[in-house]
Amino acid sequence: MVLSAPRTALWVVPVGEFGGVARHVLDVCSAAAQGSMPGWRLVLLAPPGPLVDRVRAAGGAVVDGPFGVAAGLRPSLATLRHTVAALRPAVVHSHLSWADIACAMAFPRRGVRLVSTEHGIAADDLVYHGTPWRAMLMGDVHRLRLARADALIAVSEATRSAMLRKWRPRVPVRVIRNGIDRYAGTPLPSPGPSPSPGPSPSPSGPGRAPGLRIASIARLAPEKRIDRLVDAFALVHREHPEATLTLAGDGPLEGALRAQVSRLGLDAAVRLPGHVDAGELLRHTDVVAQLSVWENCSYTLLDALVAGVGVVATAVGGNPEILTADSLVPGDAPERDPAAVAAAVVWQGTRLDLRPTLDPTWPTVAQMCAAVADVYAAVCTDRTALGDPDPGRST
């Protein structure tokens, strides 16, 4: 019996650093290298950096070169076309809008099958685009590039709904949530160095002891509303002086956040360590707080559930698909009612019975990979039913 050679899927990613989307890429490429996508060989095209280094270390195939925002559009298109000509992939799968647009520009006509996963759309266009004119422009650009897509994936139902409402794609949008494995005492994947030493790790899982070591693991950017978390923490600390807050990550608001912490007299209780090992930080955390304006399918929340810590998050985007009501606060609570956020943090820290657990039906990484492979098979056999009969066009 002669086995057919695996087909190639080229994953196109415009960033080399490690973040939420890079975590998704690493998980899938690592699982595929271990055989989780039979019949398919994944190759990553991305600029040099920590992401390609980690994919290589996990056994994945990588093409790194001049591609992405830093490289510029013309060199990126040349790299993309050259890579496709050399590898002749059955599918080109783009992630993040820069790569989505580049793929549509590089291959404007049929012949190369294009798949796109949407990781970062919000109900309010201003969350990611800043100004109304830029939001309108990008909406038009996305509608044009989607005319070239052969299949579309959304990481949550909220993401899918936003795509249908804003872009009206001509092909179905299939929801494939970020998969995560239930770890058995092994470290969670993470982007950077370990945090400074802290208390002895707590046991993971539902038997963890109560406490008020609070953490945010997010970019220090306006849409994450970390300044509102600091305001809520000030109320927590007033009643519970033993409480601590770690703001892990970096971003444009670091200086303003440090000034806010000092102004509130919280320097001894709040630290901003920059990038940290997420798995290690979670071992020293009782509650993860995420007060974002919008989230699609947050790995921070998924990691927190696997680690068995408490969670407080805004009921926006895909968060209600991950969490139950005990862990959610209204989307406007960080602005309108910091006391409600503070109370939720204390409940999650001290009431173990309120802490969330991962839905047993949530996909594992292997199940996520299988779903992606099914999309590829559908595209390569010209099937149009990708798990959703509604192509997203208005009637």
pLDDT of 176 > 80? The answer is yes
Domain co-membership, 137 together with 218: no
Domain co-membership, 31 together with 148: yes
Band (pLDDT 50/70/90 cuts) for residue 395 is: very low
Torsion 153-293-358-278 (CA) sign: positive
Torsion 345-349-353-355 (CA) sign: positive
pLDDT of 391 > 70? The answer is no
Domain co-membership, 41 together with 156: yes
Q: Is residue 106 part of a domain?
A: yes
Domain co-membership, 126 together with 239: no
Domain co-membership, 165 together with 41: yes
Domain co-membership, 36 together with 150: yes
Domain that holds residue 103: 7-179+364-380
Counted domains in the chain:
2
Domain co-membership, 165 together with 255: no
pLDDT score, position 185: 41
pLDDT of 293 > 90? The answer is yes
Q: Is residue 206 part of a domain?
A: no
- Work out the average pLDDT over 172-181: 96
- Work out the average pLDDT over 257-273: 98
pLDDT digits (tens, 9 = 90+) for 187-224: 444 443 333 333 333 334 444 789 999 999 999 999 99
pLDDT score, position 17: 87
Q: Is residue 274 part of a domain?
A: yes
- Work out the average pLDDT over 131-147: 70
- Amino acid at residue number 58: A
Q: Is residue 386 part of a domain?
A: no
- Work out the average pLDDT over 353-373: 96
Domain co-membership, 347 together with 374: no
pLDDT score, position 125: 59
C-alpha pair distances (Å), 51 with each of 46, 56, 103, 190, 356? 8, 9, 20, 11, 30
Higher-pLDDT residue of 275 and 268 is: 268
Q: Is residue 57 part of a domain?
A: yes
Burial class (CB in 10 A: 0-12, 13-18, 19+), 61: middle
Domain co-membership, 24 together with 147: yes
The Cα–Cα gap between 295 and 331 comes to 11
Q: Is residue 301 part of a domain?
A: yes
Q: Is residue 283 part of a domain?
A: yes
Q: Is residue 193 part of a domain?
A: no
Burial class (CB in 10 A: 0-12, 13-18, 19+), 267: exposed
pLDDT score, position 196: 32
Domain co-membership, 29 together with 158: yes
User: Of 44, 99, 110, 107, which is closest to residue 73 (Cα–Cα)?
Assistant: 99
pLDDT of 148 > 70? The answer is yes
Average pLDDT value over all residues in the chain: 87
User: Of 118, 230, 202, 234, which is closest to residue 165 (Cα–Cα)?
Assistant: 118
pLDDT of 331 > 60? The answer is yes
Band (pLDDT 50/70/90 cuts) for residue 116 is: very high
- Work out the average pLDDT over 378-387: 65
CATH number of domain containing 120:
3.40.50.2000
pLDDT of 387 > 90? The answer is no
Pairing type for strands 270-274 and 244-248 reads: parallel
322: tokens are 């991950």
Band (pLDDT 50/70/90 cuts) for residue 128 is: low
Band (pLDDT 50/70/90 cuts) for residue 265 is: very high
Q: Scanning the structure block, which residue is given the tokens 């890429």?
A: 25
- Work out the average pLDDT over 136-164: 86
pLDDT score, position 124: 64
Domain co-membership, 369 together with 332: no
CB atoms within 10 A of CB 331: 19
Domain co-membership, 225 together with 151: no
pLDDT score, position 201: 35
